[in-house]
Copies of this chain bind each other. A is one copy, B any other.
Amino acid sequence: MHTEKIQTNLGSYRVHVASGLRFNINQLIEKEYKRILLITDSTVDKLYADDISKGFDEAVDILKYVVPSGEASKNIEEYYRLLTYSIENNMDRHSLIIALGGGMIGDLSGFVASTFMRGIDFIQVPTTILAHDSSVGGKVAINHPEGKNLIGSFYPPVAVVYDVDTLHSLPSHEIRSGYAEVIKHGFIANGDLLKDVLHLDIKNEIENTQLIRHLCDGIKVKANIVEKDEKESSIRKFLNFGHTLGHAIESEMGYGNLTHGEAVAIGMLFALEISEEKFNVDLFSSDYQAWMDFNHYPIKIGKLNLSHLIKRMKKDKKAKHAIVQMVLLENIGKPILVDFTDEELSAYLDKFLRKLGSN
């Protein structure tokens, strides 16, 4: 078992990565809980919910709440239903929430945990590759119709339990989505990881040792950054590489039509091309685009309205006084924050969309 320790303002927690961990969560947690609420989605429920419950003693009351699969469930109504369910089923401050599923489940359940009776313990049991990113760093949230993750908290889990066996059942768009964040961690902080992933065929089953190495490398990059800047006042913003345009594309196309990582993958290509032009450096943008092509990342994404995208980029949580800020790379492993005027951004984006055939 690989274990990474993450330090936060509110104490530390551990991320455990190995095969078969879902049967033994009880042995990985430090406190005893009399009542546990397992939150999962309708897809994951059928696959792994029973495996989780089996690992606990019969004396523990395990409640289960199944949310409809899909990003659309990360809304205020589902959040409130979960709180009501928790209250009606006598969850208290000493109870535990286990979030079993992808990023949507982790974000939604974490936000419930952070605000139920002003905060109770929760454990992330991610079942997607993408969640190697979202389960580390303590960000929890729900969406608002006006934008992703606009309502949320910083609230670390008490542990993250990552059973890699659950990753082989993922559909291909989910593998693409997850590997976009893995390669992002390569671009911003780990050239070896980047090179390794650029040679990877993710259309076919990825070997467990390689998958574990990539997840652990990605988690280390993320942990190293969030430990220094939990509240995203400085360097944590680097993790936003590819996300400014990515989020805008994702919400412009409607959540669910493109996965988060697929949208970010396009956003990274945009940021790489601007970086290469601005800093006169080779960041392997053509190798990266070839890798995207080879692994069936969507690149031609249909007609997108330039001014709508810019309006959305300005609504991004990271925007300051409505000025768009993007993460660029001065080199591999050298991210930098750059402010853009509307004109400059329009010009770059227009060129990029034309090249992709989206404008």
Contact = CB atoms under 8 A, between A and B. Distances in A.
A147 to B, nearest CB: 7
A34 interface: yes
A141 B141 CA distance: 17
Nearest to A95: B321
A141 to B, nearest CB: 7
A305 interface: no
Given A87-B146, A147-B87, A320 B94 contact: yes
A306 interface: no
A72 interface: no
A150 B9 contact: no
A321 B317 CA distance: 39
A117 B150 CA distance: 5
A151 B320 CA distance: 29
State the main secondary structure of chain A at its contact with B: mixed
A176 interface: no
Interface in A122-170: 139, 141, 144, 146-147, 149-154
A146 B322 CA distance: 40
Contacts of A206: none
A83 interface: yes
A118 B152 contact: yes
A115 B152 contact: yes
A76 B9 CA distance: 29
A80 interface: yes
A244 B90 CA distance: 17
A114 B141 CA distance: 12
A303 interface: no
Contact of A119 (B116, B149, B153, B318): B153
A174 to B, nearest CB: 25
A10 interface: yes
A199 to B, nearest CB: 36
Interface string A308-339: 00000001011111100000000000000000
A119 to B, nearest CB: 7
B317 A87 contact: no
A80 B153 CA distance: 15
A76 B82 CA distance: 13
A83 B146 CA distance: 11
A12 interface: no
Contact of A317 (B80, B117, B146, B154): B117
8 contacts: A9-B9, A83-B151, A87-B150, A90-B322, A93-B320, A94-B321, A114-B153, A118-B141
Given A118-B141, A118-B149, 5 more contacts: A76-B76, A83-B151, A87-B315, A88-B146, A118-B152
